Chains A and B, each alone.
Chain A
Amino acid sequence: MTTDKFVLVNGQEVPIEGEKNLLELIRKAGIEIPTLCYHPKLSVYGACRLCVVEIEGRGIQTSCSTEPEHGMKVKTHTPALRNIRKVAVELFLANHKVECPTCDQMGNCKLEEVARKLGVNEVRFKKIKDFRPADTGSVSIYRDPDKCVLCGQCVRFCKEIHGVGAIDFAFRGKNTYVTPAFGRSVGEGECVNCGQCAAVCPVGAIVVNKHIAPVQKALDDKTKTVVVHMAPAVRAGIGEEFGLPASHETTGKMVAALRRLGFDKVYDTVYAADLTIVEEGTEFVNRLTKGGVLPQFTSCCPGWIKFIEEYYPELLPNLSSCKSPQQMMGAIMREVLPEKLGVKNEDLFVVSIMPCTAKKFEIRRPEFEYAEGKRDTDEVITTQELARMIKAAGIDFVNLKPEEFDMPLGDKTGAGVIFGVTGGVTEAALRFAVEKVTGKVIDSKDLDYKAVRGSEGLLEATLDVDGTKLRIAIVHGLANAHKVCKELMNGEVKYDFIEVMTCPGGCINGGGQPIDFNQAAKIERRTKELYDADKEMPRRKSQDNPAVISTYETLLKEPCGEKSHHLLHTKYYKRTF
C-alpha cells in the first residue's frame, strides 16, 4: 500500500499503512516499545501503560489504544515516559512473587526483560495484594496468581480466540485476580487444555505443567524399557531452543540427544500420522460412497475433541472415530513392542514428545488404557520440556552428530509431517482419498493442494475429484469451530470434510512449543519449515509409508477392519461442565 500519510516518530516520518494503532506503527519503524498487555490478535486492553508515548498537543497516551493520524508528532523515549514505565514496572514487581531463579518462566519472562531494559534497580512500593494459592488441578497448565500482572492476555485469548472463557477476572481493586468461577481449578471446567494462555502469559503466572520428573524416573529405572516418539511439529520448534533452524539435521540431533538421555528406542509419531490418514481417509471415502454421516470432522486434536464433547454433543457422530496419532502410536506399540523388544507391557514405558499440552489430558482418558489403570502412553512431555531435559543433562546439542530414527516405527512420509500445520491433515487426507476415489495415482508434481494452505482461521475450499465436488472447511482457533458448528446445526452450510485444530496455525503453535511472543512470525516460520520438510521427503503420501504398508500386512489386514477398530478407533462422550 502506498500512502502520503505519515506520523512523525521522534522526528522521523513513518508512513501510515493501515496500522490499527500507534504501537504497531512505531514498531514498524524499528523502535521497540515495551508492552505487557498488548497482543495484536486480541482486543486492546490498555492496562499496563508501558506503551505510553507523548503526542504533541495531546500529552501522554497509550500507543496501543491510539489510532495513527496524519501529521501526529510522537515521542517515544522522553524522560517523563521513561519514568512512567519505570514506576509501572516497580508497581508490578511490588506485587509480584519475585523468585526468578526457580521460576518456570525464567529466560522468557517479559517482566524481567522490561525491568532489566528500563534499568529498574529498586522497588519503592510495598506489596498490597493478598496471597492466592496456585492452581495445581490441571494436568496441562499450572497457574500461580501471585505472579500475575493482570495483563488479561490469557483471559482475552481464551474468550476471543477460542470462545471458551475458562478463566476471567474476578473481584476488583487490589483483590482482582484471574480465575475460573468460584476459585475452582481450571482443570475442572470447560478448559480444553490447549495451553495457549501459557503461551501468551508474559510472566510465570501460567506455565506448561511439567512431567519431566516421572520420565526421568523411568529413564533411571533399569527394569524399564523406555521408548519415545515425537510429533511432527516438534521438529519445527526444538531448534529454536538451541539457536538452530529446523532442518533434517536438527531433527537428527534431537534423535541423538534422546539416545543420550537414555531412551531405548526413538520412533516417530509421523508413522502414526500416516496410519491415521489411511484409517481416517478410508473412513471418509466409506462415508462418502456409502451414505454415511457427513461432514466428517477430524479427530486428532484433543482440545477440539473436548470442546465438541462439551458444546456440540449432537455433532459427535460427525467426528471421525480415529484415535489421534499419539494414541494410535500408543496402541500399536503396546501391541507389537513387547514381542519385538522382548519386554512385558508393564516394563515398557511409553513417552511422547508433543507440541501440545492437551495431549497430557488425552493420555489420561480412560478409553486409552491397555489394561485397567494402565495407560497406553505413560507420559507426555512438550517440546519445552524436552529442551529442558537436554540442557539439564549437559548435552551439547548444537554439536551433536545427527542420528536416524529407529525402524520400522520411525518410517514416515511428507504427508504425515504436515499434520503439524493447519490444513495439513486435510492435504494429507486428500493425497490419500483422491487416489482412492479416482483409482489413479496422483502425480508427484500435483501433490501440493494449495487451496487448503493458508492462515485464515476459517478456510473453505471446493475440490473437484473426477466430477465429485468435495466441500472442505479448515478451522483453527475454536471460536471459528463455534461458528462452523452452529452454522452446520442450523443447516446454513454444507461440507464434506472439516479439519479442526485448536491452536491458531495448528500444532506448530501448540501450547507446549518454545515460547515466542511474536505469534505471527513463529507461525509463518514453523509452517514453512514443515512444508519444506514435506518437499524434501522421498515419499509424500501416507499410503506409501513402508512401515504402514507392513503394519497392514502383518497386523491390521485392512484399513477400518476389525483389528483397526479395536486398536485404532475410539468413542466420544457428551460432557457437562
Chain B
Amino acid sequence: MTGQTDAKLEQVCKIIEKHHSDGSKLIPILQEIQEVYRYLPEEVIDFTARKLKIPAAQVYGVATFYSHFALTPKGKYLVKVCNGTACHVKKSIPVLNAIVEKLKLSEGKMTTDDMLFTVETVSCLGACGLAPVMVINEDVHGMMTPTKAVAEIDKILAEEAAK
C-alpha cells in the first residue's frame, strides 16, 4: 500500500469512529467516505462492512440504491450536463454529444483513460433560467452550445498540459 492510500484509509477509520461504528449511520458514513475517495472503492466497502459488522452485500445494496453514490472512480473534472426538461428543450443533448465525442467516450465508458474527465447527465440543476446548463466540478456554465462546451474542455486541457 502506498502512503496515500494509508492516509485515506486512516480517514475512513476516523469517519467510522466518529459515528461510533454504528451501522444505522451507514448512509452518512458512506457519504463522508465518498468525499475522501470521490467514489466508493470495493476494498473500502468491504473494510467498512467489516468495521460496522454489516454484511458487505448489504452495504453494496445501499451504495447501489442511491444514485448519489459512485462505485467506479471519477475523473479529476466531473462534467455534469443537465438534461432536465428545460435544458433538454434547449438542446442539451447536442452539448453532451459534443463533449462525449471530444473526449472519445461512449455510453458504457464515461471516464477518460487518463482519469481527467468523467461526464454525467443529471436532471435539473435548479438553474433552468440558464438552460442548457453544464457544471464542471463546482463551476456552473450556462447557455451552453456544443462549441462553447468543447471550448471549456479545451481550456482545462490546456491548463493541465501547462502543469
Contact = CB atoms under 8 A, between A and B. Distances in A.
Interface of A: 159, 164-172, 179-182, 189-190
Contacts of B60: 168, 170, 179-182
Given A181-B45, A182-B45, A189 B57 contact: yes
A167 B59 CA distance: 11
B55 A170 contact: no
A180 B55 CA distance: 9
A165 B71 CA distance: 21
B57 A166 contact: yes
Contacts of A181: 42, 45-46, 49, 55-57, 59-60
A341 B58 CA distance: 52
Contacts of A166: 55, 57
Contacts of A172: 64-65
B129 interface: no
Contacts, number: 48
A171 B64 contact: yes
A562 B60 CA distance: 48
A171 B59 CA distance: 11
Interface of B: 42, 45-46, 49, 54-61, 64-65, 71
Contacts of B61: 168-170
Nearest to B56: A181
A571 to B, nearest CB: 24
Nearest to B60: A181
A189 B55 CA distance: 10
Most buried by B among A164, A169, A181: A181
Nearest to A175: B64
Nearest to B55: A165
A190 B55 CA distance: 8
A397 B91 CA distance: 72
Contacts of B42: 181-182
Contacts of B46: 181
Contacts of A159: 55, 58
Contacts of A168: 55, 57-58, 60-61
A171 B57 contact: no
Given A171-B65, A189-B56, 15 more contacts: A166-B55, A166-B57, A169-B61, A170-B57, A170-B60, A180-B57, A180-B60, A181-B46, A181-B49, A181-B55, A181-B59, A182-B45, A182-B60, A182-B71, A190-B55
Nearest to A182: B42
Nearest to B67: A172
B95 to A, nearest CB: 27
Contacts of B56: 180-181, 189-190
B21 to A, nearest CB: 15
B11 to A, nearest CB: 21
Which 4 A-B pairs rank lowest in CB-CB distance, beginning with the nearest?
A165-B55, A181-B60, A181-B56, A168-B57
